[in-house]
Structure 1
Amino acid sequence: MRRWLHLGERFLIGILRAVIPLLRFVPWRFYRVLGWFWGRLWWWADADRRRTTVENLRRAFPDRTSSWHWHIARRCYTNAGIVLTEVLSLAWLEEEEFSKRLQFLNPELFAECAARGRGLLLLSAHYGNWEWLACAAGLALRPLGIPVTVIVKQQRDPAVNRWLSHFRTRWGNRLVELEQAPWAIVRALHRREAVAFLADQRAAPESALWLPFFGAEVPVHTFPAAVALRFRVPIILGFALRQPDGRYVVPLEELPAMDLPDTAEGVRELTARYLRRLEALITQRPELWLWQHRRWKYSRPLLHATPLPTAS
C-alpha cells in the first residue's frame, strides 16, 4: 500500500511540474477554477483525509448540520487547491505583481515592533494562503534590513521538500526544519531578525502543554510563547484573508504579551491567547483553515482541562 501511495505521489508531482510552465498563460480569474480541480482531485483520491476533514468539522461545530459539514469540507479542499495553484505560480510570478495580490493593511506595525530592537516573532496558521503570507512578510521586512527565518516541517518525500523549498526561498526567506528550530530561533532573535512560525497543528502529546481548542483539550506548541516571554520579543499575528476577487489582505496585530511574566503560567496564557484568536478567526471563515490535519488525534474532554483566564 505504501509503495502505491509513494508512486501516486510521484505521479502527481510529475503532473504538477508539467503544469507549472502553463500557469504563466492562465488568466488570474481562472486560478479559482484550477483550485477547484486540484481540490476535487485530492477529495476523491484520499478517502482517509476526506473522512478526517468531515470528522474534524463535526467535532468543532457539533451544532451544525451534516450537510453544512460536508459543504465546508468541500470548500476546504477548494481552498487547498487554490493555495497549491498559487504556490506553483511563484515559479514565474514577478515581485511587483505578487505585491498586488497580497497586501498588508497596516505594514507599519512591522517597523514599530522592530524598533524595540529585540527581533520579531511572526505567528500565523494554516489559514488562507500561509505560503504566500511568508513570502510577503519577507518582502515587507526587506526594506527594514530584517531577514526572515521560516520554521517548516520536513515532508515525507525529498522531492516535495526540494520543490517547496525552491518556492519558499525565492525572495530571500531562510528555512529551518522544525526539529532544529529552538536554537535557530534563538540565534535569529539574537541578531534581531524575524522568525515565522505556524503554531496551529498538534504537538507531541507526551511533552506538550494541553489547552482548550474547539471544545476539547489538545496538545499545543508553546515554544513561540516561551521565547517571546523569555526574550521579551513582540509577536505579530497575521492571517491571509482571501477576498472575492481572489486577492488577499492581511490585517496585522500584536498579540498582547508584555503584561505576562516569564513563567509557566505566563506561557500558558500567551499560548491560550493565540488559540482563542485563531478559533475566533476559523469560526468566521472555516473553509480557509486546513481541516485535513488530524488536529484532534490526541484530545481530552474539557472536563479535565484547567480553566483559562478569559482576558486578552
Structure 2
Amino acid sequence: MATLIRLFFTLGSRLPLPVLHGAGLLLGWLSFLLSPRYRRRLMANARQAGMPAGVAWRSVAEAGKLVTELPRLWLGAPVPVRWNGVEHIEIAMAAGRGLLFLTPHLGCFEITAQAYAARFGADRPMTVLFRPARQPWLRELVDHSRERPGLRTAPTTLSGVRQLVQALKSGEAVGLLPDQVPPRGLGVWAPFFGRDAYTMTLSARLARSADTQVLLSWGERLPWGQGYVVHVRPLAEPLPADPLAAACAVNAAMESLVRESPAQYLWSYDRYKQPR
C-alpha cells in the first residue's frame, strides 16, 4: 500500500490540474456508491444544514478532487492562484499584527496556506496546525510535502499550541481548521448548522493573543482545473471571552463561509462525532 501511494503521488504530481480533477470526479462518485456509511453521512450532514439534494450531489465530485489534487499541490509545479481580499492581510501586516487564519473544510484548504507562504512567507512565515498521520511512512510523506519556505507545521499537541502562540507573538501568521473535532476536554458543544458539534476553544484562545488580527479564509476550486481563488475577509466582531459564546461565534462564521459555496464543503466529514 505504501509503495502504491508513493507512486500515485509521484505520477500525479506531473499531471495537469484538469486531468487530476477529472480523476477526482470519478473517485468521488466511486467512494459515494461503494461506501454506504460514507454516503449516509454525506447526505445526512447536508440535509442537517438545510442544503438541497443538488448541493450534496455536487459535493461528491468536489470531495474526490480534494484527494486527487494533493500530489500536484504537494510535489508538483505551482498552480494558478488568484486573491480576493488580500488587502486585509496587507493592512494587518503594515500594523505589525499577528495573523490568525480560520479556514473550514471548504474547497481546497491546502492552497490557502501555500498561497500565503508563496506571497508573504519570506517576511512573515505561517505556522499551520495539523494532526500527524499515524503510519510512519505516511507521516514522512506529509511532513516532507507540507514543509516549504515560509510555511511551518505544528502538531496537535501542547508543544504545537505553544508554537502557534509564539508565532502570533512574533507577528507571524497561524492557520487552523476550527471545524475540526478536537480531543475531549479541548472543546465545547456549540451549534453548527442547527446541531450541537464539539468545537475547539483553541481558535478563540489564539484570537485573544496580543495584537492578533483574525481573518476568515478559504480556497475556492475553480471549474475545469483552472486553478483557485483564495478568499480572505476579517471576522466581523471580536470573539467574546466566554468559551461557549466564542465557539458559537466561530461556528457561525464558518457557516457563513460554507454558504458561499456549499457544494465545495466536505459534508462527509464526521463533524458531529463524539471527541476522542
TM-score normalized by the length of structure 2? 0.86
1:128-277 map, 5 Å: 128-143=107-122, 145-180=123-158, 181-246=160-225, 247-258=227-238, 263-264=241-242, 267-277=243-253
| Gap change, CA 1:74 and 1:170, over 3 Å in 2 | farther
**Quick one: which of 70, 76, 84 aligns to 2:67?**
84
**Counterpart of 2:267 in 1: which secondary structure?**
coil
| Gap change, CA 1:21 and 1:185, over 3 Å in 2 | closer
Cα distance in 1 for residues equivalent to 2:208 and 2:14:
48
Per-residue CA distance 1:64-87 (angstroms, 9 max, x = gap): 4xxx1xx54453332122122221
1:18 positional shift: 2.1
Q: CA RMSD in A?
A: 2.6
Cα distance in 2 for residues equivalent to 1:120 and 1:280:
20
Q: Would the aligned equivalents of 1:153 and 1:178 in 2 still touch at CA under 8 Å?
A: yes
**Counterpart of 1:196 in 2: which secondary structure?**
strand
**Counterpart of 2:121 in 1: which secondary structure?**
helix
Which residue of the partner structure matches residue 309 of structure 1? none
Per-residue CA distance 1:100-149 (angstroms, 9 max, x = gap): x2221232321211233231111111110001221111112125x00111
Cα distance in 2 for residues equivalent to 1:276 and 1:269:
11
Amino acid corresponding to residue 168 of structure 1 in structure 2? R
Cα distance in 2 for residues equivalent to 1:19 and 1:205:
35
The share of aligned pairs that are identical, in percent, is: 27
Cα distance in 1 for residues equivalent to 2:209 and 2:171:
14
Question: Structure 1 residues 247-256 or 284-293, which shifts more?
Answer: 284-293
**Quick one: which of 250, 258, 265 aligns to 1:289?**
265
Q: Does 1:43 align with 2:32?
A: yes
| Gap change, CA 1:27 and 1:174, over 3 Å in 2 | closer
Q: Does 1:20 align with 2:9?
A: yes
**Counterpart of 1:166 in 2: which secondary structure?**
helix
TM-score normalized by the length of structure 1? 0.77
Matched length: 273
| Gap change, CA 1:268 and 1:284, over 3 Å in 2 | same
Q: Would the aligned equivalents of 1:43 and 1:77 in 2 still touch at CA under 8 Å?
A: yes
**Counterpart of 2:250 in 1: which secondary structure?**
helix
Amino acid corresponding to residue 15 of structure 1 in structure 2? L
Which residue of the partner structure matches residue 4 of structure 1? none
Cα distance in 2 for residues equivalent to 1:215 and 1:202:
16
1:32 positional shift: 2.2
Per-residue CA distance 1:135-181 (angstroms, 9 max, x = gap): 111112125x0011110012232222222222211344111111233
Question: Structure 1 residues 19-28 or 156-165, which shifts more?
Answer: 19-28
Q: Does 1:103 align with 2:82?
A: yes
Q: Which has the larger radius of gyration?
A: 1
Per-residue CA distance 1:35-70 (angstroms, 9 max, x = gap): 113223433554433322222223222x84xxx1xx
Which residue of the partner structure matches residue 303 of structure 1? none
Cα distance in 1 for residues equivalent to 2:257 and 2:89:
21
Cα distance in 2 for residues equivalent to 1:237 and 1:204:
23
Amino acid corresponding to residue 164 of structure 1 in structure 2? V
Cα distance in 2 for residues equivalent to 1:91 and 1:227:
27
1:220 positional shift: 0.9
| Gap change, CA 1:91 and 1:223, over 3 Å in 2 | closer
Question: Structure 1 residues 75-84 or 147-156, which shifts more?
Answer: 75-84
| Gap change, CA 1:182 and 1:126, over 3 Å in 2 | same
Amino acid corresponding to residue 222 of structure 1 in structure 2? T
Which structure ranks higher in relative contact order (CA pairs < 8 Å, sequence separation ≥ 6)? 2
